[in-house]
Structure 1
């Protein structure tokens, strides 16, 4: 029953199904000794069906959809020629609409077979390690080079992850860069899943339904599910495109996505972590924020799951959000959303370092980089943020004045930006090995970013291609007053933060006291 994509003139009659089998030797062809797999779920983004006793499935032929396999736990998928996991086929009896960046120009049959490779059994307590990227958002070949050297290359061959996710804005409107970004990302040699963002749209599409055709041609379905032993992952396109209107998009979900969720979620195990990934944060308010009615409707579908984590991008900042009744969540405990910082940081801006890569610290003081998710059996998980090419990787950025007058009123302080911190994080400091004292959480701009803003303002010529972003209030900034009643000279300041997942994190700096007369 195998049906492959062929040139339009050679297309077979449209078919509405296929077969799933155990590809034991990984050659992509079913051999006589390779059994079919009953009970495997396949979807077109609306309906969800299971393969029968012969490993066969049937789905209606609806042009414009993408049929995808929901990879079950315990199996791997073969890789396509571009390195992506091979789990989809487009449903398109005729060529799609002409679009600037190509869309899906060719016709596709609506059927195909899927081979699954059995995975070697793992220990029952084995964790699943996942790389999380958000907003690589390249706008040129130069930005792709930054992405490669700053984010991808340092991870290649040493990341140890079993899965990778990109949470939207793969590019910055120039969809011709998709192949370069894909080639760069797949050099990490790990199955990778992509979710679209608002800068991944075909802006010349006439409808929201057609606005992700180029994205889907390169990366597969815009809404999908993927299962591992410790985690079920659902990726959702949550950008509603409105051609010719203002705003041009807002956050929300389509009716077909709700149909998929209503069909699929009842089949999902509740003893593993359920992760929902999207681009626009579910907490985002305003004209381009996430539609409240859709959020409440989604949350109602998730309410009975005891272990849920939401992942989002889009803001080019980083924060933890805990949904409660105020945002439509009525579960027994707050629903955690981790808004992941951007791989491109502040859009690849700021002064370049010795390697020729822009600083790109975000407006909230978080350095650009990537996150990691470690999922444990039973629904537990750990998160961490890793600044790009930071060998120290302390998780804390410090700012303090270099010199103060001995005996001056202690009006100046040390600031600690704890990148993964939130209102419950305990942060302390001490001077010269003295007693640890609590630091106060302050929602104000990080002074380190403000310093860059001032340097840009005072410069007679551009310091970089784009300035550093204007500093904005940071949700993970702490302050401690620096004593001035100590002897003249250098004084060491130590800061420690108690991260709920990584434990105690430490960083240090110093300042100098000088004796001075009026």
Structure 2
């Protein structure tokens, strides 16, 4: 009888463990093991690791006492290990973590941008090596929003304006980009990877709406080129007492009209979330990283409300949660309460992170001939550091090219007439601010006074945009976008009843984490003769 006609199961004995594998390849099995010599191969003396989660993107199982797992398998699957705390996975030459195995026997369908090559027959076992690594529960992660270069020149802007500033950064265990790694041209994935490699740390990635294969008819196939470069679009890992979930929340095509995209999740993604969280201790901090914000700025219908509510329900058993997004090219803090469907007393914090591309690489060129690219809400381009301490966290926003103390932009008139009434005001754009924060100001040695939270365009940004339109000569670079309302802006009265001369405005702002930040600016009072 020919082997090709045999329908019986093949029994393979691996290191004393019997593993059943069908010729139809409808199951995958293997070891998660301690890779003592870091060579990526399981040696006979290297033991399996118990109770490590492994997933096929939907089901999640734990390894047994010998480190063995088994999962259902389709012909379009990515098997990945959910890295436990106190272990690390290897990275490739580009600092991309290697925690997955792609199973696409026939490869991706033919697309404009190449997907995954045919992977052929499944190996008898798909093993995942883990390297023991002591992890401090106090650590900091580096977060990039929307690098989004549309051209190779913009990749260079990203590399020079952002990555060079954090090149070979120390004491940061990993970085994460929150989607829109490129701008529709997926051939720029490799230049983007080469740029982020220079940060010198393991780098994780989120799928964004500009990272998709648009020549597909179903959402499940929209990430084929992304998978070929980065692996699964839905995965998880642990570090310290933090459980990170990276999730693709871009539905393409939009299921409502089969056009464009919409924020939400597929059913298999919900199953992955539910199955994954079953094995996470309830006292751990859950951090969800996605691209499209859960909030809907300007009341636009950008996210499926039912999906957001279902996500909230999945998170209900966990007291400590944080979600991250980018996409909007602004910076914003949102807090979901019972009124918005959050099922706990403590509000859920959703941080919409400012972008590394800023306002899509617009604005005047700096000394390095890189666009300043301030965002439409007046937030300068930059990146975030999220500081973890056990299951708690705080956030620092770092403006690119500025000292870390640069946390606000103060706008005030340069000169006012002595003792004259004026409608001019002092504005403070506190980049990490939220409406409940305290922002105080004083002039010279006067008393500290509270500033009034306001929602309007940041006049400092408006002035930048107007300078383009008023210029009688062409300005190198690209005109910035028009201003929008800022969600972290405060306003105070400016005094004209002061002596003639220069006066100092001092500002102090306390953020949601209890940290106080300072800024100052001067203005002149002059005697008016009319």
TM-score (norm 2): 0.92
- 1:424-463 matches, within 5 Å, as 424-463=436-475
Q: Does 1:129 align with 2:140?
A: yes
8 Å CA contact retained: 1:205, 1:243 = no
Give 2:210's aligned residue. 199
- In structure 2, relative to structure 1, the CA distance for the partners of 1:497 and 1:243 (3 Å cut) is closer
| SS of structure 2 residue aligned to 1:148 | helix
Q: Does 1:180 align with 2:191?
A: yes
Give 1:299's aligned residue. 312
How far did 1:115 drift?
Answer: 0.6
| SS of structure 2 residue aligned to 1:260 | helix
| SS of structure 2 residue aligned to 1:83 | coil
| Alpha-carbon distance in structure 2 between the residues aligned to 1:108 and 1:317 | 44
- 1:18-417 matches, within 5 Å, as 18-110=30-122, 112-120=126-134, 122=136, 126-242=137-253, 245=257, 247-284=259-296, 289-377=302-390, 379-391=391-403, 393-417=405-429
| Alpha-carbon distance in structure 1 between the residues aligned to 2:117 and 2:45 | 38
| Alpha-carbon distance in structure 1 between the residues aligned to 2:448 and 2:66 | 67
Give 1:9's aligned residue. none
Unaligned runs of 5+ in 2: 1-11, 15-22
| Alpha-carbon distance in structure 2 between the residues aligned to 1:262 and 1:121 | 26
Mean CA deviation greater in 12-21 or 91-100: 12-21
TM-score (norm 1): 0.94
Mean CA deviation greater in 69-78 or 285-294: 285-294
How far did 1:85 drift?
Answer: 1.0
| Alpha-carbon distance in structure 1 between the residues aligned to 2:143 and 2:231 | 18
8 Å CA contact retained: 2:254, 2:262 = no
1:482 is matched with which residue: 475, 479, 494? 494
| Alpha-carbon distance in structure 1 between the residues aligned to 2:339 and 2:141 | 30
- In structure 2, relative to structure 1, the CA distance for the partners of 1:166 and 1:2 (3 Å cut) is farther
RMSD: 2.0
8 Å CA contact retained: 1:137, 1:170 = yes
- State how many pairs are aligned: 506
8 Å CA contact retained: 1:283, 1:327 = no
- In structure 2, relative to structure 1, the CA distance for the partners of 1:346 and 1:478 (3 Å cut) is same
Give 1:7's aligned residue. none
| SS of structure 2 residue aligned to 1:394 | coil
How far did 1:80 drift?
Answer: 1.9
Unaligned runs of 5+ in 1: 4-11
- In structure 2, relative to structure 1, the CA distance for the partners of 1:433 and 1:173 (3 Å cut) is same
Q: 1:199-247, CA deviations, whole angstroms, 9 ceiling, x for partnerless residues? A: 1101112321111000111111111110112200011100000179464
| Alpha-carbon distance in structure 2 between the residues aligned to 1:294 and 1:35 | 41
